[in-house]
Structure 1
């Protein structure tokens, strides 16, 4: 950890290596969790450090984590998710996201977006999916993001929510924003509250951006 902070000028390179390590196909549960914990440790210590360039870790990882977590999610969901050990690993990842939220390292909804990428696959909108979107409040949120007038703001909104990096096309950002709304609309109420997202019928804590 001291080495990482002492070499903060190399934060972009080290951050890319860390993020890339989450995308390997043949991870063991222990290895995957160890890498998440290492990233968390670097984020925490760089936030506390007064060394020049330490904030580069946060800014670089903020750009890289959405893509890394989406790939890590494929691994996390595919490792026997019914097993007790898998349930514990998912709980451990959520605890890390909660720590990032408590530390205020990223924008408020950023960890919630990472959680949506980790624990649910993004799929294209279909007629079958539309049948499951009957709740009026959910329909209103989806319509907001699918409105062509909202499209110019979609990339910024997706980045604030931990759903995209700065190069993702508008259409992909809209798809991820709709994924975010569906994921949290159907989530456990206690989990929604922990993530800073209001339950259906209570309004939205976050802005439209």
Structure 2
């Protein structure tokens, strides 16, 4: 194994060989926020995190045992660690409707902020590059295109009306190996990249 000053950038670069673009700060910050949510909520309500992110209690216990700053070591700017688990056709149906609530911004519902942020981030990425968006989020090109063409109001309406569970895109057994080898490029990091590229919503592409 080889030492690198910044491991997350190193394994990100292995993905970037597919596309000549750098990691996106908005993507990495959102990914970090999801890991931080798992860490923070897992401390108080591990059962909720188990059900919402499909993680075992053993994995959650390990995560919360680490400093919250370590969660940044798990975040990536090229592929989100988590993807939504749901039938994409349902999202497409909702986005295809024109009778959505155009006053959704008046509904102050903090429970859907992460969902809204997820869709708005996808919109920003898909507006620039559809195929890269399918890699970042682990979604199909039809959904990426529909999200790119949607308005902010439509996406916030989608976040409120269609809830989906987040699921890890790689084997959670790799998490301890990644964190415990944060200064080296290990097989765990390479497996993470390969598994994340192959899996969409917990299902192999």
How does the TM-score come out when normalised to structure 2? 0.27
Higher helix proportion (structure 1 or 2): 1
- Which has more strand, going by share of residues? 2
The structure with higher relative contact order (CA 8 Å, sep 6+) is 2
TM score, norm. by length of structure 1: 0.27
